[in-house]
Amino acid sequence: MRLLLSCLFLAVICHSFADESPLPADEHFKVETVAGGLVDAMEIAVLPKGDVLIIERTGGVKHFDPATGMTELVTTIPVEVRKETFARESGLLGITPDPDFETNSHIYLFYSVPGNSMQRLARFNFSNGELSNETLILEFPHDRENAVCHEGGSLAFGPDGNLFLSTGDNTCPFESNGSAPIDQRPERHWYDAQRSAANTNDLRGKILRIRPKPEGGYEIPEGNLFPKSDKTRPEIYAMGCRNPFRISVDSKSGFVYWGEVGPDAAETNDRGSIGFDEINQAREAGYFGWPYFVADNKAYTDYDFAAEKLGKPFNPAAPINDSPNNTGKQNLPAATAPLWFYPRASACAGPVYHREQFPDTQSKLPDVFDNCLIAYDWTSGWVRAIKLDENGDIVWNKPWLSRHLLIHPVDMETAPTGEIYILEYGSAWYDGADGRLRKISYSETPVPLEMTAADPRMKGLDLEHPGSKIIAKSTCLACHLTDQKSIGPKYSDVAKKYSGDSAARDILAKKILTGGVGVWGPIPMPPHPQHNIEETQQIVDAILKMTPKKDEAEE
Burial of 340 (0-12, 13-18, 19+ CB in 10 A): buried
Q: What is the pLDDT of residues 395-414, one digit of tens each?
A: 999 999 988 889 999 999 99
**Where do the structural domains in the chain lie, given as residue ranges?**
2-442, 456-553
Q: What is the pLDDT of residues 296-325, one digit of tens each?
A: 999 999 999 999 999 999 999 999 999 999
CATH 2.120.10.30 correct for 2-442: yes
Q: What is the pLDDT of residues 328-377, one digit of tens each?
A: 999 999 999 999 999 988 999 999 999 999 999 899 999 999 999 999 99
CA 109 to chain centroid: 18
CATH architecture classification, 456-553: Orthogonal Bundle (1.10)
Average pLDDT over residues 9-31: 65
Whether the CB-CB separation of 526 and 266 falls below 8 Å is answered with yes
User: What is the chain's mean pLDDT, rounded?
Assistant: 89
- pLDDT of 86 > 90? The answer is no
Between 530 and 187, the more confident residue is 187
Q: What is the pLDDT of residues 475-492, one digit of tens each?
A: 676 677 666 777 778 777
Which whole-number Å values give the CA distances from 493 to 110, 245, 265, 374, 549, in the listed order? Answer: 36, 31, 27, 38, 11
Which whole-number Å values give the CA distances from 100 to 48, 161, 196, 411, 555, in the listed order? Answer: 10, 9, 33, 22, 60
- pLDDT of 541 > 80? The answer is no
Window from 28-42, 215-229, 386-400, 487-501 with minimum mean pLDDT = 487-501
- pLDDT of 41 > 80? The answer is yes
pLDDT category, 84, cuts 50, 70, 90? Answer: low
Which whole-number Å values give the CA distances from 91 to 59, 98, 389, 469, in the listed order? Answer: 7, 21, 38, 34
Window from 67-71, 199-203, 379-383 with minimum mean pLDDT = 379-383
Closest alpha carbon to 111 in 142, 84, 72, 133: 142
pLDDT category, 555, cuts 50, 70, 90? Answer: very low
